[in-house]
Amino acid sequence: MFFHIVLERNMQLHPRHFGRNLRENLVSKLMKDVEGTCSGRHGFVVAITGIENVGKGLIRDGTGFVTFPVKYQCVVFRPFKGEILEAAVTMVNKMGFFAETGPVQIFVSNHLIPDDMEFQSGDMPNYTTSDGSVKIQKDSEVRLKIIGTRVDATEIV
């Protein structure tokens, strides 16, 4: 599920960036550092939408770098256990299929696919019902329920 939340981060800036463009440099560094990252607590940071507040800078002892506490608004994607959502199938094999919801990858094991769907291998491997009415293959859209999440360094599976 997508959320719009306020996060806070301490940004370190080298003195070469000071001057008229200090705030711009701070903001672009923030975007480069944070957009596209992922944490277990907040999920994926998809896009920063605005800066709420930039606090007073504090010079670090011994280095000359300055730390600014920045509060910013952003769109995050955080999947929850028990959540129901729609996904696009990316790969099908006999163990199950992979699907994507935005930046998150989902794996559905064949144990959790309805019993009346059988795996069919071939050029376009797929799961089909016995009467052929429903077919899950690459690029199909499926609706599924999340039963567990795992955070892996920089991604959520």
- Residue numbers at the binding site for another protein (CB under 8 A): 1-5, 35-36, 38, 40-41, 44-47, 49, 75, 77-78, 80-86, 88, 100-103, 141, 143, 146, 149, 151
The smaller minimum CB distance to another protein, of residues 26 and 74, is found at 74
Q: How far is the CB of 95 from another protein (least distance, A)?
A: 23
Q: Look at residue 15 and give its three-state secondary structure.
A: helix
**What CA–CA distance (Å, rounded) separates 58 from 7?**
19
Structure-block tokens of residue 65: 């770098």
Beta carbons of 124 and 135 less than 8 angstroms apart: no
Q: Which residue shows structure tokens 């806070």?
A: 8
Q: How far is the CB of 64 from another protein (least distance, A)?
A: 29
Q: How far is the CB of 59 from another protein (least distance, A)?
A: 31
3-state DSSP: the chain helix, strand, coil percent, rounded to 5?
Answer: 10, 50, 35
The smaller minimum CB distance to another protein, of residues 21 and 63, is found at 21
For residue 119, give Cα distances in angstroms to 48, 135, 137, 146: 42, 10, 10, 21
Q: How far is the CB of 4 from another protein (least distance, A)?
A: 4
**What CA–CA distance (Å, rounded) separates 34 from 71?**
12
Cα angle value 49/24/58 (rounded, 5°): 100
The smaller minimum CB distance to another protein, of residues 84 and 153, is found at 84
The smaller minimum CB distance to another protein, of residues 75 and 134, is found at 75
The smaller minimum CB distance to another protein, of residues 26 and 66, is found at 26
